[in-house]
Structure 1
Amino acid sequence: MSKVYKAVVAVADRFVPSKLRPLWEHDAGPKTIFFWAPAFKWALVLASLDEYRRPLGKVSTTQSATLAATGLIWTRYCLVIRPINYSLSVCNFSLGLANAVQCFRAYRFQRAARLGAV
């Protein structure tokens, strides 16, 4: 660990209430990457949800399918690593689901456009 990170954690350690101490000291708590990875990965989920406002003709089914696949694959991985990272698993599942829905919507739109229904 870096000296700066250790100093920040040492200062923060003094301010953590006793009720939050189990979370703070947990193997996947804020002192570890297991906490911060899902915290920042939620930005991908929010960006995926924001894509729902985009016209379906401009949505990339390849990108949506890729994000859906990686989200669902990493969901499984998060449940087999130690410590089990449930928060990252939920984040990855949300990413997979949001993009699977978007991919299905875009695919249906493109198929209807090819058939002349749109």
Structure 2
Amino acid sequence: MSIVPQIAILVEKRYLDVQHSLFRFVFDDGDRRKSFSFSPGQFVMLSIFGVGEAPISITSGPDEKGFIDLCVRKAGRVTGVLHGLEENARVGIRGPYGNGYPVEAMEGGNLLIVAGG
């Protein structure tokens, strides 16, 4: 985990509804792209240079390598600017942060996940 934002490129933006879009990012640094790993439930700090930074939960699965998907609701200054970015825009990503969920410990049991944002 790095405390310095790593440059990431917006490679796909998918409109979901008026307030939500799915953003796919790849790290500019190929080594970081290959080494980035996280646990379900963790988040990253997404920086829009000159605007600010916001915590965003990682939407992609931990087994999906080479990219990071973030589903983002337009709610404030940073997320509003993010929704206006075009593909190939560059942002900063730090993390992952948070403890995640102990998925392996829950295997075979009942699981109910409730999320908010």
Which TM-score band (shorter chain)? under 0.3
Q: Which has the higher strand share?
A: 2
- TM-score w.r.t. the length of structure 1 is 0.23
Q: Which has the higher contact order (CA 8 A, sep 6+)?
A: 2
- TM-score w.r.t. the length of structure 2 is 0.23
Q: Which has the higher helix share?
A: 1
